[in-house]
Amino acid sequence: MNKDQKEILESEVSNAAHSQQVLNNPAYREAFIARKAKIFDNFCKSKPEEVGKRETAYLEMRNLLSLERYFEKSLQSGKMAEQTLDMNEEK
């Protein structure tokens, strides 16, 4: 493994640690849950003719879930990077 590869892996490990901090943050979790509930409420309370309102709620929920997936993928990448670094140190 060359120096650049090692730096990339170390960066992924660092990003994963930051992602874990975000996901473990009570304020983030509370805000995330509250926002999901509000979006769902807006969707459920929309009238049959308010198609645009439901589409907006759908897109907002997709964006919110995309953000959550970003942090989860960062954790996964960080774990794999850490394993790779550990394997290379054992050699």
More confident residue, 91 or 6: 6
Q: Which domain holds residue 71?
A: 3-90
Indicate the SS3 state at residue 5: helix
Residue listed under structure tokens 């589409």: 55
- pLDDT 10s digits, 22-35: 999 999 999 999 99
Residue type for position 47: K
Q: Domains in the chain: how many in total? A: 1
Supply the pTM of this predicted model.
0.81
Indicate the SS3 state at residue 66: helix
- pLDDT 10s digits, 16-64: 999 999 999 999 999 999 999 999 999 999 999 999 999 999 999 999 9
Q: Per the structure block, which two tokens stand in for 53?
A: 């309102």
Give dist(CA 49, CA 54) in Å, integer. 10
